[in-house]
């Protein structure tokens, strides 16, 4: 997030797009409730009537994958009505003219045709957002999990810059990171192109810096992303895969393809706390420890580094993950001799500028928000206060593009996927929690009553759902939450795993799969 | 009787709620939300309230497993680690460092993620390291 969770409650306008906040980020949703009580306007744009939409001053259900068009339409109105922040644009941004030329091509009637949102509603969103003294955008995977994921995010940044809602309290463009430590895994260099602190692997300076810090010769070739590693296993260029705490067989799109790829590995090592479907395919399974059995830190969605503390010993013979990695490294001949996570954090602080001032001593209280470059620095509540990292904020001129897969005669329904409040990701943890499992023991398909009537399907009927990649069986829930022509499935359930169906089409830049849109056919199961 | 409360951070979503794990004689028996947690201010969602349950599930993996004659069977840590290290070494010396890939994890701590990428880059010599940031 550019801003902090607590700031949300003081925003005058909150624009939630592609986030089922009450299910996926309940304690951010709490701040939205408080903001509403203080009189904030709440706009929700989501193809489903997610719970937070019921509280909204305005909820629009745009067609799947039409976010860029919707946002361009909103910005068209803002420009047309002169609601933009001229001085902010002049002083703090560049690229405005090219951007404006594209926006001119998105008048509300045209946008209404693409998105299914009426010109009146587009006008109201523009008015609420642009007229607020402070407006905050919250988004989640409904924005990013598209072939146009990067375009979607850039469009949100355009909207915030256009109205000067950046670099101040209670504003900003705020991604709600789905997994507890996805922010930290990125910060720590768990990415193919960067070392810790986003220092590029193919820049000589950073390569030299890490070569001397780690006393090793390092490669300057950018590595493979997950989808590329999976294709590498298919074509034989990748032979060994070491998976820690992930379950790609269920979490990645097109499970049948993933299974084939994983089976092609000469060596598949899976380090996890449960026997996941991915671990079933492994040559070696190493039992790691859960968060309650180790010391360390997580970095939450507002960049806050927080302590994790060991409460009990690792169960059975399981071991903490850092010890396992250290032991394997020593066996490979690269010596590691850490006596614990605190010592690792010291090394992190030494090589990662944004974590430079972070140490366990300083994390005893409420944690610290990076950037925190030195031991005296208090941490950073919101970013871009005195300007953008690159100097000026850049407007991007972005045209709308259709999703990679669209409905046709054979696959006439749009399908989208997401989470539910009691479960998490592939269900490995929550389905092993009796209280959570009891709340929702099985998966389901949400379908509009009109589609159901047409197909002769009743509430609770078992149906088969087929996409170009596979078929699964699941029970139906007939509902108004989705519009006619759209179905929704959570992806937590292995027996009816939504990712058998999803489309492995990726955003060309960051390789996010298009989980949020594919075309399916639904039939009553035999 | 040994009763302790251990302050920590939730492992589920990115809100980063703080709570105390209640530990009685080496077993976690409950969670207590932390009032001073900056994100949650004394509240938790249903996942947080029950976060301790999966930790002590009987389904947890407790011993290393190695595939022998097609089946995964329990082995000692030494055997599992020796096998992993020697196969990694064989494969990368025959086909180059970039023939190995690593999935880091949004579930692990910062310290562990740091170590995995350091291991991939410095010990194995490849930048093939990624995690499901996108999922
Ligand atoms: S308690 Fe709920 S809202 Fe808080 S971090 Fe855990 S899953 Fe997220």
Domain of residue A512, CATH code: 2.40.40.20
Whether pLDDT at A505 is above 80: no
Helices and strands, counts by H and E, chain A? 19, 23
Residue A154, classed as helix, strand or coil, is helix
Band of pLDDT at residue A281, cut at 50, 70 and 90: very high
- In angstroms, the Cα distances linking A411 to A116, A363, A472, A492, A503 are 20, 52, 14, 23, 13
Please tell me whether residues A191 and A56 are part of one structural domain.
no
**pLDDT for residue A253:** 77
Domain count of the fold of chain A: 3
| B52-100 pLDDT per residue, tens | 888 888 889 999 999 999 899 999 999 999 999 999 999 999 999 999 9
Whether pLDDT at A214 is above 80: yes
Contact A423, A436 (CB under 8 A): yes
Please tell me whether residues A79 and A208 are part of one structural domain.
no
Please tell me whether residues A145 and A226 are part of one structural domain.
no
Please tell me whether residues A356 and A441 are part of one structural domain.
no
Do the chains contact at B12 and A180, CB–CB below 8 Å? yes
Taking CB atoms and an 8 Å cutoff, what residues of chain A touch B77? 317, 319, 327
Task: Establish if B112 touches chain A: CB-CB under 8 angstroms.
Answer: yes
Contact A513, A257 (CB under 8 A): no
Least confident of A157-161, A354-358, B37-41, B62-66: B37-41
Please tell me whether residues A192 and A156 are part of one structural domain.
no
User: Rounded mean pLDDT of chain A?
Assistant: 88
Give the count of alpha carbons within 13 A of A180, CB side only. Answer: 26
Is residue A312 in contact with ligand 1, taking CB distance under 6 Å?
no
**DSSP track, A486-526:** EEEEES--GGG-GGGTSEEEE-TTT--EETT-EEEEEEE--
Please tell me whether residues A215 and A340 are part of one structural domain.
yes
User: Considering only CA atoms, which of A447, A467, A457 is closest in space to residue A523?
Assistant: A457
| A304-347 pLDDT per residue, tens | 899 999 999 999 999 999 999 999 999 999 999 999 999 999 99
Is residue B13 in contact with ligand 1, taking CB distance under 6 Å?
yes
Do the chains contact at B115 and A308, CB–CB below 8 Å? no
Whether pLDDT at A433 is above 80: no
* Residue finishing a domain among A345, A369, A393: A369
CATH of the domain at A346: 3.40.50.740
Please tell me whether residues A160 and A198 are part of one structural domain.
no
Band of pLDDT at residue A495, cut at 50, 70 and 90: confident
- Ligand 1 centroid, distance to A173 Cα (angstroms): 21
What residue spans in chain B does CATH classification 2.20.25.90 cover? 3-54
Nearest chain A residue to B99 by CA distance is A238
Do the chains contact at B61 and A273, CB–CB below 8 Å? yes
Whether pLDDT at A504 is above 90: no
Per-residue pLDDT, averaged over A371-399, amounts to 80
**Cα–Cα distance measured from residue A138 to residue A56, given in angstroms and rounded to the nearest whole number:** 14
Do the domain assignments include residue A374?
A: no
Q: At how many degrees (to 10) do helices A108-115 and A67-80 cross?
A: 160
- A413-418 and A486-490 strand pairing: parallel
Residue A427 or residue A291, greater confidence: A291
Per-residue pLDDT, averaged over A3-24, amounts to 86
Predicted model pTM: 0.84
**Cα–Cα distance measured from residue A244 to residue A139, given in angstroms and rounded to the nearest whole number:** 27
**pLDDT for residue B134:** 54
Whether pLDDT at A195 is above 80: yes
User: Rounded mean pLDDT of chain B?
Assistant: 91
Nearest neighbour of A238 by CB, restricted to B26, B67, B101: B101
- Ligand 1 centroid, distance to A419 Cα (angstroms): 14
Taking CB atoms and an 8 Å cutoff, what residues of chain B touch A27? 15, 17, 39-40, 43-45
In percent, the amount of chain A with pLDDT more than 70 equals: 97
Band of pLDDT at residue A246, cut at 50, 70 and 90: confident
Do the chains contact at B114 and A189, CB–CB below 8 Å? yes
Do the domain assignments include residue A392?
A: no
CATH 2.20.25.90 fits B3-54, yes or no: yes
Whether pLDDT at A385 is above 80: no
Whether pLDDT at A114 is above 80: yes
* Residue finishing a domain among A141, A156, A176: A176
Please tell me whether residues A243 and A125 are part of one structural domain.
no
Instruction: Choose, out of B22, B108, B117, B125, the residue to mutate when testing the contact with A (most A CBs < 10 Å).
Output: B108
Structure tokens given for B135: 């999922």
Band of pLDDT at residue A386, cut at 50, 70 and 90: low
**pLDDT for residue A1:** 75
| B90-106 pLDDT per residue, tens | 999 999 999 999 999 88
Domain residues for the domain of A507 are 413-524
Whether pLDDT at A390 is above 70: no
């Amino acid at each position: 997030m550019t801003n902090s969770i607590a700031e949300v409650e003081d925003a005058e306008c909150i624009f939630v797009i592609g986030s089922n906040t009450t299910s996926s980020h309940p304690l951010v949703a709490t701040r939205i409730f408080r903001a509403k009580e203080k009189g904030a306007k709440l706009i929700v744009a989501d193809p489903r009537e997610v719970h937070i939409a019921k509280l909204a001053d305005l909820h629009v259900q745009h067609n799947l994958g039409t976010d860029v068009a919707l946002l361009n339409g909103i910005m068209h109105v803002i420009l047309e009505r002169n609601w933009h922040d001229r001085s902010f644009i002049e002083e703090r941004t560049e690229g405005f003219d090219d951007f404006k030329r594209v926006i001119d091509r998105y008048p509300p009637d045209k946008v209404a045709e693409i998105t299914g949102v009426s010109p009146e509603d587009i006008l109201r969103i523009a008015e609420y957002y642009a007229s607020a003294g402070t407006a905050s955008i919250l988004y989640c995977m409904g924005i990013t999990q598209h072939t146009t994921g990067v375009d979607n995010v850039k469009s949100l940044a355009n909207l915030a810059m256009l109205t000067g809602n950046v670099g101040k309290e209670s504003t900003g463009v705020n991604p709600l990171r789905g997994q507890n430590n996805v922010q930290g895994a990125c910060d720590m260099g768990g990415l193919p192109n960067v070392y810790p602190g986003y220092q590029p692997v193919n820049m000589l300076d950073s390569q030299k810096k890490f070569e001397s810090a780690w006393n090793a010769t390092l490669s300057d070739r950018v590595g493979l992303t997950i989808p590329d590693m999976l294709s590498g296993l298919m074509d034989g260029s990748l032979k060994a895969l070491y998976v820690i705490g992930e379950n790609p067989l269920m979490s990645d799109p097109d499970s049948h393809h993933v299974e084939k790829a994983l089976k092609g590995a000469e060596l598949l090592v899976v380090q996890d706390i449960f026997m996941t479907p991915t671990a079933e395919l492994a040559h070696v399974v190493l039992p790691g420890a859960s968060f309650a059995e180790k010391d360390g830190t997580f970095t939450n969605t507002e960049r806050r580094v927080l302590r994790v503390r060991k409460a009990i010993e690792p169960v059975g013979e399981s071991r903490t993950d850092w010890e396992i990695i250290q032991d394997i490294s020593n066996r490979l001949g690269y010596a590691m001799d850490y006596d614990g996570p605190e010592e690792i954090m010291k090394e992190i602080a030494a090589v990662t500028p944004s974590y430079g001032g972070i140490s366990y001593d300083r994390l005893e209280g409420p944690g610290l928000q990076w950037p925190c470059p030195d031991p005296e620095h208090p941490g950073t509540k919101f970013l871009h206060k005195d300007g953008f990292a690159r100097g000026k904020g850049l407007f991007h001129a972005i045209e709308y593009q259709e999703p990679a897969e669209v409905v046709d005669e054979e696959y006439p329904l749009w399908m989208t996927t997401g989470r539910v409040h009691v479960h998490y990701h592939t269900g490995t943890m929550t389905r092993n929690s009796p209280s959570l499992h009891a709340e929702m023991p099985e998966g389901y398909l949400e379908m509009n009553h009109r589609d159901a009537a047409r197909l002769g399907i009743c509430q609770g009927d078992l149906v088969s759902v087929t996409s170009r990649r596979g078929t699964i069986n699941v029970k139906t829930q007939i509902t108004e939450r989705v519009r006619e022509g759209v179905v929704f499935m959570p992806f937590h359930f292995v027996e009816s795993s939504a990712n058998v169906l999803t489309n492995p089409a990726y955003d060309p830049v960051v390789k996010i799969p298009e989980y949020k849109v594919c075309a399916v056919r639904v039939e009553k199961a035999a | 009787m040994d009763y302790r409360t251990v302050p920590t951070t939730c492992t589920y979503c990115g809100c980063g709620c703080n709570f105390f794990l209640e530990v009685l004689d080496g077993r976690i028996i409950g969670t207590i939300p932390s009032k001073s947690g900056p994100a949650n201010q004394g509240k938790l969602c249903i996942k947080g309230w029950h976060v301790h349950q999966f930790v002590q599930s009987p389904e947890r993996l407790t011993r290393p497993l190695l595939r022998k004659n097609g089946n995964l069977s329990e082995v000692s840590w030494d055997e599992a680690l020796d096998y992993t290290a020697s196969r990694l070494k064989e494969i990368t010396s025959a086909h180059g460092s970039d023939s190995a890939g690593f999935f880091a994890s949004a579930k692990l701590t910062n310290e562990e993620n740091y170590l995995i990428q350091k291991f991939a880059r410095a010990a194995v010599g490849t930048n093939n390291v990624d995690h499901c940031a996108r999922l």
